[in-house]
Amino acid sequence: MTTPSMDDLCRIYVKIRTKKQEVTKDYDASMAVFDEKLNTLAGAMKDILVATGGTSIKTEHGTVYSTIKTKYYPMDWSMFGEWIIKNNALDLLEKRVAQRNTAQWLDEHPNNPPPGLQAESEATVVVRKS
């Protein structure tokens, strides 16, 4: 058995990636139809709950109930950040590192890395279609 050439591997890779993109696009389009129908039905059920003044209705096929989901976000990050520091309220922030900003910081300040920062790098293969 002969070892495939880099060109053969690249050709096959691009072909599979293209097919995957097509399948994903078709899947997303199919799911959008279902999502639209489900959203329409959910809206109709919400309207009934509001009209009846209820928070839940039990039916033969299931129980419909409403929930409230609240999302918080600052209108002014500068003010919010100052407030966080002033009130020692770091627990209001999620613990994750902004990857791109951290990489930029390290590029610009190679002698001043944040303490306790760990980095993991992994080599990956990228194929561009010619």
For the stretch 38-85, pLDDT in tens is 999 999 999 999 999 989 999 999 999 999 889 998 999 999 999 999
Q: Give per-residue pLDDT as tens, 91-127.
A: 899 988 999 999 999 999 999 999 999 999 988 878 7
- Taking the C-alpha atoms of residue 15 and residue 59, their distance in angstroms, rounded to an integer, is 50
Q: Are 67 and 58 in contact (CB under 8 A)?
A: no
pLDDT recorded at residue 1? 83
- Taking the C-alpha atoms of residue 17 and residue 19, their distance in angstroms, rounded to an integer, is 5
CA dihedral sign, ordered 72, 76, 77, 80: negative
Does the predicted model carry a pTM greater than 0.75?
A: no
